[in-house]
């Protein structure tokens, strides 16, 4: 399923300097969600951009799409009001789920601005931002190649290692190991260590049972 073109709009690269000088462009906090694509980061990184906007009193809701995995970056993004923090690689369904959750959250906020919120409504607003990734669509949330690696592990008759995955999918062993390590971090597969004649541990993987 694709997002309709009238649901989201990407701002052109010509507005990438918006935090540095004022331009006649729609506010990021308007009804639609506007994206500042990667061209903006040639001027400053995402965290610096948010700090610049916050200093001007203009802090838009933000979804980080990044390869930065360090906790310091995550903590900084959270403190600056990031709504979501998506670490690459990820599947399109993950982004789609978060965009739709964000849209529902904004609509719910707008629908009761003048009404005092009790604890139940406060909890409901926070819960709206939590992605609803179920067991059935969890595989679809993975990048394509990662899904193939997962299927290779799932279809194996026994735990297998990076060399076997690489041979089955026609990729290099380091690439296969990178995907396997990522799947283990996501708790999709389990690492088993076995020791060969040299005494060095051999890493093999199998599906993690829920």
pLDDT in tens, the chain (210 residues): 344 445 555 544 433 444 334 434 445 454 343 444 444 444 457 788 888 888 888 778 888 888 888 889 889 888 888 888 888 877 777 788 888 888 888 888 888 777 788 888 888 888 888 766 555 556 666 788 998 999 999 999 999 999 999 999 999 999 999 999 999 988 889 999 887 666 678 899 999 876
Can you read off the two tokens belonging to residue 1?
A: 């399923």
Same domain as 20, residue 100: no
State the residue for tokens 């959250």: 105
Amino acid 24: pLDDT: 40
Question: Same structural domain for residues 136 and 203?
Answer: no
**83 and 134 together in one domain:** no
Domain that holds residue 103: 91-112+120-141
- Does residue 95 share a domain with residue 75? no
Are residue 70 and residue 130 in the same domain, yes or no? no
pLDDT of residue 206: 94
Do 130 and 195 share a domain, yes or no? no
The pLDDT score that the predictor gives to residue 44 is 52
Token output for 36: 């500042």
Query: What pLDDT, on a 0 to 100 scale, did the predictor assign at position 139?
Result: 67
Please tell me whether residues 103 and 79 are part of one structural domain.
Answer: no
User: Looking at residue 180, which CATH number applies to its domain?
Assistant: 1.10.10.10
Together in a domain, 1 and 82 = yes
The predicted pLDDT at position 183 comes to 92
Return d(Cα 172, Cα 160) in angstroms, integer. Answer: 15
* Contacts for 66 with CB less than 8 Å, ≥ 6 apart: 46, 73, 85, 86, 87, 88
Indicate whether 70 and 108 sit together in one domain: no
184 and 127 in one domain?
A: no
12 lies in the same domain as 58: yes
State the pLDDT at residue 56: 83
CA distance between the termini of the chain: 27
147 shares a domain with 130: no
Counting the structural domains of the chain, the total is: 3
- Residue-level pLDDT at 49: 81
Q: How far is CA 52 from CA 16, 49, 85, 164, in A?
A: 13, 5, 19, 49
Looking at residue 140, its pLDDT comes to 63
pLDDT of residue 132: 62
Strands 62-66 and 82-87: parallel
pLDDT at res. 33: 39
For residue 46 the two structure tokens come to: 């995402």
Give the separation between CA 200 and CA 195, rounded to whole angstroms: 6
Give dist(CA 196, CA 203) in Å, integer: 11
């Amino acid at each position: 399923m694709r997002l309709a073109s009238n649901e989201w709009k990407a701002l052109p690269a010509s507005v990438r300097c918006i935090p540095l000088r004022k331009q006649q462009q729609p506010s990021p906090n308007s009804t639609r969600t506007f994206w500042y694509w990667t061209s903006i980061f040639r001027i400053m990184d995402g965290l610096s951009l948010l700090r610049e906007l916050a200093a001007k009193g203009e802090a838009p809701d933000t979804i980080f799409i990044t390869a930065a995995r360090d906790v310091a970056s995550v903590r900084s993004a959270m403190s600056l009001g990031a709504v979501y923090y998506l670490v690459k690689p990820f599947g399109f369904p993950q982004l789609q789920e978060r965009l739709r959750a964000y849209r529902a959250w904004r609509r719910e906020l707008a629908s009761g601005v003048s009404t005092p919120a009790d604890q139940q409504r406060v909890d409901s607003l926070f819960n709206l931002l939590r992605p609803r990734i179920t067991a059935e669509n969890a595989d679809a949330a993975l990048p394509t190649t990662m899904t193939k690696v997962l299927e290779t592990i799932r279809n194996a008759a026994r735990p297998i290692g990076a060399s076997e995955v690489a041979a089955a999918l026609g990729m290099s062993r380091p690439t296969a190991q990178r995907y396997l390590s990522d799947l283990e971090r996501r708790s999709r597969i389990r690492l088993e260590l076995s020791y060969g004649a040299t005494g060095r541990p051999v890493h093999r993987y199998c599906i993690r049972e829920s």
